[in-house]
Amino acid sequence: MADLSTLPKDWIVISGQFTRKAHTNVYPAIDPTRAENSLTGRTVVVTGASRGIGARGIAPAFVRAGVKAIVLIATKSESVKGVEQELKNINPDVEVLGLGVNISSAEQVAGAWSRINSRYPKVDILVNNAGIETTESEKTHEQDPDIFFRNFVNVKGTHMMTQQFLKASMPWATTSDPARLINMTSSSGWGIWPFLAAYSMSKAAIIHYTTTVAASYAGTVLAIAVNPGLTDTEIVPPVLRAAGFNYNDPALTGSTMVWLVADPARTRFLNGRVLTAEWDVEELVGRKEEITSRNLLTMQLNAKLRVEQFVD
C-alpha cells in the first residue's frame, strides 16, 4: 500500500469531491437553526448515540433543528446519560429517551421499538448511525472469518432498525410526509481499501440497501445514505490516523442530515442515493436534473449494458 503520509492533508476531501465547494464545517445552507431546516414537532431515533458522530454531531444538530423528541440508542442506556444532559443544555424542552439496545439482536430491537412506539406513535426520522470496524489485516488469507463478519452487524443492525421503523411508519407515511431514513455509510464503500476490507464491504451493502428501500416504497419513504468523510472517532483505523489527514467537524454530518430530512420535496431527487457530507447542498440542488437523468450517486456496474448496443 502507498505511503498515505505523503499525500496532502486534505486528500480525503479533494479525492472524493463531487461539488466545486467542499466543506469540513457547518455552513449557512445546512445551519439547523434556519427556518427552512426546522424539524419542529418531529421525533427522531438515532443509533450509535453515546459517542462519536452520533453524540457530537447528529443528536445535537437535530435538537438545534427543534425536534420535539429524540430517542438515543446505544448498547448500554447509561452511556447516553451525558449526551442527554448536553441535549437538554441546547433545548431544555426537548424530550429525550435513552435506550440500551444491542442492534444485532432482533429481540432487543423489537423490544426497543415497542417502547418507542408506545411513547411516540409517530417517529418521523430514523438515523442508522451505529457501526463497528474490526478488519485485522489487509490480506484475505490472514483474516479470521468471525472477526471479518462482525463488521456485518453494520448491515444487520441497519436492516432490523429500519424494518421496525417502517412497520411503525406504514399507517401514516405519505408522499407529502414520508418516513425519513438516513443510513450512515463510508467512502470506503466505493473505494478500494484493503485494510478496511470487511468494513468497506458492509458499507457498500448499506449504499445499495438504501437504494433498494427507496425503490420498495412509492415515494412514501425518503431513504438516503450519507458518508461523513473522515471524522475523528474511535473507529478511525491506525493507518489513516497516522497519515495525519484533516478531520471534519462532526456537526457537518449532523447538520447535513437535518437538511436532508427537513424538506422532503427539496431532497426527493436524492432518494435512494448516497452523498458525502462535504459536498455543497446548494450545488447538489443545482445539479438535480443531471443526477436524476444519469442516475448518479448510486452503486452500479461500470459497463455499457442492453442488447440495443449490438444492433447495427
- Residue 311 burial (C-beta neighbours within 10 Å; 0-12, 13-18, 19+): exposed
Residue type, 188: S
Instruction: Output the pLDDT for position 5.
Output: 85
101-146 pLDDT, tens digit each: 999 999 999 999 999 999 999 999 999 999 998 877 888 899 888 8
Instruction: Output the pLDDT for position 140.
Output: 86
Instruction: Output the pLDDT for position 136.
Output: 77
Biggest alpha carbon–alpha carbon distance for the chain: 69
Do 182 and 125 form a contact (C-beta atoms < 8 A)? yes
What does DSSP say about strands 179-184 and 221-227: parallel, antiparallel, or unpaired?
parallel
What predicted TM-score, i.e. pTM, was given to this entire model?
Answer: 0.96
d(CA 31, CA 27) in angstroms, rounded, equals 6
Instruction: Output the pLDDT for position 2.
Output: 66
Q: What is the residue whose three cell numbers read 409517530?
A: 122
Strands (E), 20-105: 43-47, 69-74, 95-100
Instruction: Output the pLDDT for position 1.
Output: 60
List, by residue number, the catalytic residues: 199, 203
Instruction: Output the pLDDT for position 138.
Output: 84
Structural domains of the chain, with CATH: 4-310 (3.40.50.720)
Mean pLDDT by 10 residues, the chain (312 residues): 85 96 98 98 97 97 98 92 96 97 97 98 97 85 89 96 98 98 96 90 97 96 98 90 95 98 98 98 98 97 93 84
- Residue 208 burial (C-beta neighbours within 10 Å; 0-12, 13-18, 19+): middle
